[in-house]
Structure 1
Amino acid sequence: MKNGTKHIGTTSFEMQKEGTPAARAKTMETMHYQLQGMKAMLPHLKSESQFYVQVLKAPIFDKNVPNTFERIQGYLAQLTQWQEELNTLSHHIVVQEQELGAVCPKADESLWTVRKREHLALVRSYEILQKKLNGLKSELFQFIEGRLRV
């Protein structure tokens, strides 16, 4: 954190009190673009997880390798839970968009602070969800590598 700036991905906005409506308007614009970026990525993340579910359900694994069925079931359960978390995040993004649209740059400081904190929490949740999928992908590739039928 430098000069009161909180970095989120590749964008940032001031976390200290914005004294002018113009500064708040700029922050609102940044928050809006971040929400739009996350919202645009959700379908891609969902289709990617669905692809892994299809791979795990396909009859491509060698049945002679111990614990294959149990591991597949475990990965399917993790992907199902991940997809539920994605659906929850998607809902929260829509709610945040609506609430952000209802806040004007001249809103009182307490409401403004609440909206910024909620936005930061939402961004963190999105980043955590992405990291979970990346970790799960890595595990899946390692698992699949030695268990494909020849």
Structure 2
Amino acid sequence: MPVVLGNPDASTVITMVSNPNCNPCARAHSFLETWIAGRDDIQVKVVFATADHDNDIRTKVARHLAALTLSNEKKIAERALTHWYEQKGNFEAWAEAFPLDKAIPTNDSSERQKQWCKMAEITFTPTILINGYKMPDPYQLEDLRYLLN
């Protein structure tokens, strides 16, 4: 249950494995959001690497975003993700700014994302995958604009 940015039907899929409290992840999100703004040929899926503990702020953020996504609030989930990365830290104020209409169970989503990260051998965040393949080492995130032209 990733947060999907851009065109959900695009054939080019960039997956960003992120940690909600990671400054490099916040910069990567900002770059990707700006870069795909004028494009309709790319979708970005944001998957969260968290501890999957109820009292962990990263898990709380990931579950809240999953609930927004599951409630078909795609644009709100996008705005909430952007806002989180801009203000990181105050979960209660952030969750109040992006309330859930109803209780949606999301514990399963954070557990599945954790298991997917383990299966995909994700060892750091952000990790970028292009159509399921990790971006090669010599390339930086900003090189995507040249690789996917």
- Check whether TM > 0.5: no
- Higher Rg: 1
The alignment's TM-score, normalised by the length of structure 2, stands at 0.24
Higher share of residues assigned helix:
1
The alignment's TM-score, normalised by the length of structure 1, stands at 0.24
- Ranked by relative contact order (alpha carbons within 8 Å, sequence separation 6 or more), the top structure is 2
Higher share of residues assigned strand:
2
